[in-house]
Amino acid sequence: MIIIGCVPAYNEEEKIAPLLVRLKRQVDKIIVCDDGSTDLTFDLSSSFGALVIRHEKNMGKGMALRSLFKAALENDADIVVTIDADGQHDPSEIPALIQPILSGKADVVNGSRLSDTSMPRHRRIGNAFLNNLTKQAAESSSSKEFVKDSQSGFRAYSATVLASLQPLVWGMGIDSQLMAEAFRMGLRVQEVPVSVKYDGNTSTHHPLRHVSDVAISILGDIAYRSPLRYLSVPGTGLTIIGFVMLSILVNYYVTSRYFSLPFAILSFLFLVSGLILFITGLILHAIGRVVDQIDRNMSSLERSSIDLIVRSRPIRSDNILERKTLA
C-alpha cells in the first residue's frame, strides 16, 4: 500500500523544510506543488527528495490540489494525505488520520482543529460561519452528520474517490468545495481531532479577506448547484416588486400629474435586476445539467481506470503499523 503526502505550497521557504522532514517519516512519497513561489520553496522541496510540481504563476490552492491529486494517482497512491505547508499540522498524527480508511470505515477523513484550544477566537468565529455555509452547499440537513471543521487542509482521501472529487475552485474555497462535494456524493466521511500550531503568520491572506474569498466561493457554488432556487425565485420576486412599484408610479402620475424620478429609478432597478436574476438562473440551470452530464461521463471513465489500478493493490495496514513503531 502506498501513502502519498500532498503539500500545496506558496512562498513557504521558512516552514516547508521542517515539515518535509517530519512528513517523510509518515508517508511513502511526498509530492509538493510549488504554486508560483518567488522564494526558495521549489529548491528546498527538491533537496528533501520530494517530487515537485511547479506552476509558473500563482494559480491558487484549488489548482495546486488538482495538480497534486493527478500526480498522486499517476504515482499509484492508495491513500492521499493533504497537509498545508505552513507547519500548523503535525505529520505524526497521520496514522490516526488514515486509520478509518485502513479499517474500511471511511472514504474521506477530515482533521478537525476545533478540539485544540490554541485556535484564536477570530478564527473560530470565521470557521463557524464558513462551516454553516459549507453545510448549506453540501445540502446536509443534519448537523450531527456534517463535519465541524470544513476548512481544514489536513485530510486523508482513499484513492478510489479522488477521480470523483475533482477540485473545481481555484482559490482558498477549495477545502469547502471538496467537503461539500463529498457529502453530496454520499461518500463516507469521518472526522478525527488533530492538533494545530499557530506560530507567527500561518496565513498568506488577511483573516477578513480569507473569510470573504471563501464565502464568495461557497455562495457561488450554492448558486451554481441550485440556480432556480437562489437566482430565478428571488429574481421573480424582485420583478413582481418592480412591476407593482411601476404601476403605483403610473397611477400616481395619472391622478396627480406628479412624476417621481427617484421612485421611477428604484422601480426600474428592481425590475431590471429581477429579470437579470431570473434569466441568469434559467441559463445556469440549463448549463448545469449539460455540465453535470459531461462530468458524470468523465468521472465514470476515470473511476473505471483507477479501479483497475486500486483493485490490483489491496490496502494493508501492516507497513503503517511498522512505520509508526519505528517513528
Q: Does residue 145 have a pLDDT over 50?
A: yes
CA distances (Å), 192 to each of 23, 105, 109, 110, 112, in order? Answer: 18, 13, 7, 6, 6
Q: Read off the pLDDT of residues 84-112 as tens digits, 9 standing for 90 and up.
A: 999 999 999 999 999 999 999 999 999 99
Would you say residue 177 has pLDDT above 80?
yes
pLDDT digits (tens, 9 = 90+) for 226-281: 888 888 999 999 999 999 999 999 998 999 988 899 999 999 999 999 999 999 98
Q: Quote the Cα angle for 325-94-315, to 5°.
A: 80
At 325 the pLDDT is 42
pLDDT at 61 over 80: yes
Give residue-wise pLDDT tens across range 184-227. 889 999 999 999 887 655 555 666 776 787 778 777 777 777 88
Confidence of residue 115 (pLDDT cuts 50, 70, 90): confident
Residues 6+ apart with CB under 8 A from 107: 101, 157, 158, 160, 161, 182, 187, 188, 189
For the purposes of burial, counting CB atoms within 10 Å of the CB of 76, is it exposed (0-12), middle (13-18) or buried (19 or more)?
middle
> What pLDDT score does 241 carry?
96
Mean residue pLDDT of the chain comes to: 84
Q: Averaging pLDDT over each range in 78-87, 111-120, 304-313, which range is the top one?
A: 78-87
Dist. CA 48–CA 20, nearest whole Å = 7
State the pLDDT at residue 327.
46
